[in-house]
Structure 1
Amino acid sequence: MQLILGIESSCDETGVALVRVPAGGGLPQLLAHGLHSQIEMHRAYGGVVPELASRDHIRRVLPLTEQVLADAQVALADLDVVAFTRGPGLAGALLVGAGVACALGAALGKPVLGVHHLEGHLLSPFLSADAPQFPFVALLVSGGHTQLMRVDGVGQYTILGETIDDAAGEAFDKSAKLLGLPYPGGPELAKLAEGGNPQAFKLPRPLLHSGDLDFSFAGLKTAVLTQANKLGADLPAHKADLAASTQAAIVEVLVKKTVKAVQQSGMQRLVVAGGVGANRLLREQLNAVCAARGIRVHYPELHLCTDNGAMIAMAAAMRLQAGQQQADCSYAFDVKPRWPLDSITASA
């Protein structure tokens, strides 16, 4: 049995979690996790302020670690591996988690392991009660990343399609800002859209009929801006309709391209992960379309769609189980603010 502590600090959430790897094999089990969101702090600025994010991670990470260990009734000395988010993300924020993890490892004489943030999201559905099995097609929709990939196992990722400009999460957030909605814009736009008519405005579905599996949402953002300017003083009266129309356009592209990817792969299993994966309309439409085609869909639990330490601890545990990476005791660390997921190898 191994106990792995995971620390996430890539952006505006501080997450710490503890997983146990069963001695006889099987999926790692989440024992406890803690999360602090910086939303209220950044809301006053309309977006994430990197320096403030880094300072808040410094304040939160050790108390959260103490809380998680207490909840799991585990002593610090009982840890076997300390994992942390190595990238991608904000450089300063990443350095906080990396520094704390390596300091803990050095103090305890235990190995440390740097984890890819997006791999954490990708593997987070394995924490759910309805865990997937390899292989599968994955839709990864997290912040500035929208990717479709074939996943044959831990560390075995083939990109099928990805965004060439704005990702789905950016389209939600930027459109929300154009509508005057507070940070974080994506969830606020989705909430407003519930009271609107998704057919009120005819907005583009970029690359929907491109023939490939790539995405582009920059044109949609421009169309939302154009429509908002046309409405002018009448925008408040039509804001919910414009939000609903925007969400409908994003979701339609995601659903149709994802189903196409699954069909082309010949698989019958889909994993959806990342913050946008919590969107209610996306889940409803994917569930309906996939059920009609006999495709099984797996999601992380809603509370694990956002950035969190559980996904980092889980990814570390699964990489170690698969022999894709080894933890080490060098305690020299670096971070990778830009780090393509498909570049991960056994020596990452």
Structure 2
Amino acid sequence: MLILGIESSCDETGVALYDTDHARLLAHALHSQILMHQDYGGVVPELASRDHIRRTIPLLHKVMSDSGHSLDQLDAIAYTQGPGLAGALLVGAAFAEGLAASLEIPVIPIHHLEGHLLSPLLSRRPPSFPFVALLVSGGHSQLMRVSDVGQYELLGETLDDAAGEAFDKTAKLLGLPYPGGAALSELAQHGQPDAIKLPRPMLHSGDFDFSFSGLKTAVLTKVREIGTPSEQQRADIARGFQDAIIEVLVKKAMRAVKESGLKQLVVAGGVGANRELRRQLDARAVRAKIDVFYPELEFCTDNGAMIALAGALRFQAGVSIKPAGAFAVRPRWPLSELTSASNA
């Protein structure tokens, strides 16, 4: 069966085609709006929605051409129902529902974070169920126990700023361009270890929750103390900030795996592409004798491939499938609401 996936939750338009019979991704295409939003220092929802409208059809044509298949061969269409920007979600949802209705095939509304959660299954070395997942994507930082598709137990989550938000906001404090997370990580490579000491929020809280707003405030205080930081001081602050976040993420994730009794940790989402986070997790995993799995770098950011995969897995499980027709997007949608019996 061929499952088309469409992602339009924020500032990337993604389309992909997944083949369930051979369990492989046939083709995918992605357009990023980063350059369009850079002048504004962040995503402008109206501009994002309009750009999704312009990009979806050309990306669809490319994916179908690259895969060697035609639209009338599709068996279902998966699309991101939420969470995300309401207008952006509506573009992908309306397009998917309309196309599915014209082809008389079902649709599969997908939770954006479930797509990220399952994205490591697209890798050359995929994990198997069950596993513990560290999900660090945009405004979300969560630890989950994943027993199967749709069977997710929330172990802990951010109480305020997520790791990705803290990266972007701290980057802005340091005068780095949008999107700031990657730029901050690059700058941190030139910083001196322990030159800037910053707090490790909730490191010893005894639970699996996170809180990074105070860390961001500590950076702001440090910048004000210095005045106008030199390039080396900016690098040292970036290094101190990154070290603080990574220490919290690594220690809580490893403790979650230990207490779960499982031997697999999955790391997904944009922050999962951070090289230092991966290095430290890999080192700790060797000592703890567990396996760590990551999505390929191209699937760490928002993409259609993860939506096509999630749709394919739900299609095979017979859940969250519905006829094309009336639909609604869910800009706010806790991942913990999903179950294997859910029918969005």
Measured against the shorter chain, the TM-score band is over 0.9
1:52 equivalenced with 2:51 (yes/no): no
2:13 matched to which residue of 1?
A: 14
- The amino acid of 2:154's aligned partner reads I
1:62 equivalenced with 2:57 (yes/no): yes
Measure how far apart 1:233 and its partner are: 2.1
- The amino acid of 2:32's aligned partner reads S
Q: Deviations over 1:67-115 (max 9, x none)?
A: 0000001111111101100000000000000010011111111111110
1:155 matched to which residue of 2?
A: 150
Residue from 129, 143, 155 that aligns with 2:138? 143
- The amino acid of 1:281's aligned partner reads E
Matched residue pairs, number?
A: 342
Secondary structure class of the residue paired with 1:234:
coil
1:309 matched to which residue of 2?
A: 304
Measure how far apart 1:323 and its partner are: 2.7
Q: 1:198·1:246 contact (CA, 8 Å) conserved in 2?
A: no
- The amino acid of 2:96's aligned partner reads A
Q: 2:132·2:146 contact (CA, 8 Å) conserved in 1?
A: yes
Residue from 15, 38, 43 that aligns with 2:38? 43
Tell me how far apart the structure 1 counterparts of residues 246 and 151 of structure 2 sit (CA, whole Å). Answer: 27
1:261 equivalenced with 2:260 (yes/no): no
Structure 1 length-normalised TM = 0.97
Measure how far apart 1:235 and its partner are: 4.2
Tell me how far apart the structure 2 counterparts of residues 37 and 19 of structure 1 sit (CA, whole Å). Answer: 21
Q: Deviations over 1:5-52 (max 9, x none)?
A: 000000000000000011xxx7x3100000000000000000000000
1:284 equivalenced with 2:292 (yes/no): no
Q: Deviations over 1:177-218 (max 9, x none)?
A: 100100001001001111111311110000001111100000
2:293 matched to which residue of 1?
A: 298
CA RMSD of aligned residues (A): 0.9
1:89 equivalenced with 2:84 (yes/no): yes
Q: 1:228·1:235 contact (CA, 8 Å) conserved in 2?
A: no
Tell me how far apart the structure 1 counterparts of residues 144 and 104 of structure 2 sit (CA, whole Å). Answer: 37
Tell me how far apart the structure 2 counterparts of residues 237 and 264 of structure 1 sit (CA, whole Å). Answer: 40
Secondary structure class of the residue paired with 1:306:
coil
1:71 equivalenced with 2:50 (yes/no): no
Tell me how far apart the structure 1 counterparts of residues 52 and 292 of structure 2 sit (CA, whole Å). Answer: 34
Tell me how far apart the structure 2 counterparts of residues 107 and 317 of structure 1 sit (CA, whole Å). Answer: 20
Tell me how far apart the structure 2 counterparts of residues 286 and 81 of structure 1 sit (CA, whole Å). Answer: 37
Runs (4+) off by over 6 Å? none
- The amino acid of 1:260's aligned partner reads R
Q: 1:154·1:324 contact (CA, 8 Å) conserved in 2?
A: no
Tell me how far apart the structure 2 counterparts of residues 171 and 54 of structure 1 sit (CA, whole Å). Answer: 25
Q: 2:191·2:232 contact (CA, 8 Å) conserved in 1?
A: no
Percentage of pairs with the same residue: 65
2:335 matched to which residue of 1?
A: 341
Secondary structure class of the residue paired with 2:228:
helix
1:329 matched to which residue of 2?
A: 323
Q: 2:132·2:262 contact (CA, 8 Å) conserved in 1?
A: yes
Structure 2 length-normalised TM = 0.98
- The amino acid of 1:332's aligned partner reads A
Residue from 210, 233, 240 that aligns with 2:205? 210
2:214 matched to which residue of 1?
A: 219
Q: 1:171·1:217 contact (CA, 8 Å) conserved in 2?
A: yes
